[in-house]
Structure 1
Amino acid sequence: MSDLWEKAADDRQSRCAIAHYLADVQDETVAELAWDLRALEYAEDENWLPSLHVNLADDYRRLGDTAKAEEHLEAARTRLRLLADDAYGELMRSAVEHVAQALAERSTRRLETSPGG
């Protein structure tokens, strides 16, 4: 994957997509958070933002940082309007609700499915 990362050095959207994917395959939440933050740094297409923010909210929730989790959950919610009323949009709306519920329960366990799908 590092080869892919280097080849995409001049392509912000590719770097965003690669980092977003790499976050989902990490075993440790701290590593997942690092890749999710990197994905957000490279995001140029606003349609990525709901997914990136819900993933960050989930990372921070699992790390016990409630304030940052709530901040990113709110950012995800406000950007849901960017998404169409289709299967992907519904997936993101559902992810926001699952993370919100886990946060309200003060759970730090990994959700059975990744918030982004």
Structure 2
Amino acid sequence: MTDILGYARVSTQQQDLDSQRHRLTKAGAIRIFEDVISGKIFDRPGLEELIAYARPNDLLCVVRLDRLGRSLKELLETVEYLKECKIGLMSLEEKIDTSSAAGELVFHAYRQHSCEKVL
């Protein structure tokens, strides 16, 4: 059975995780892992704990893709690692769910669009 595991991140202690927690719970997350750490720092204990906890075919759910990576390169590396671990990715804002072929296609279209914006 596939479980949805939420991941929430804010950059500072002054920011609030509540809105992310609420949306992730509403999306069906059975457990939410959190980090309060700048996007500039890629050592994220909460994300590492989620990946260690997840089983193949589980879904890592975020409110927005920027919660996973500050740059497109960082995001793509994370998504590739999730794929190696057989963990899907769901982003609520971008309406992406890589656990299906259609969702994988949407993610690649998003990636292509983001790459074109950089160029």
Q: What TM-score range do you get, normalising by the shorter chain?
A: 0.3 to 0.5
TM-score (norm 1): 0.37
The structure carrying a bigger strand percent of its residues is 2
The structure richer in helix per residue is: 1
TM-score by length of 2: 0.37
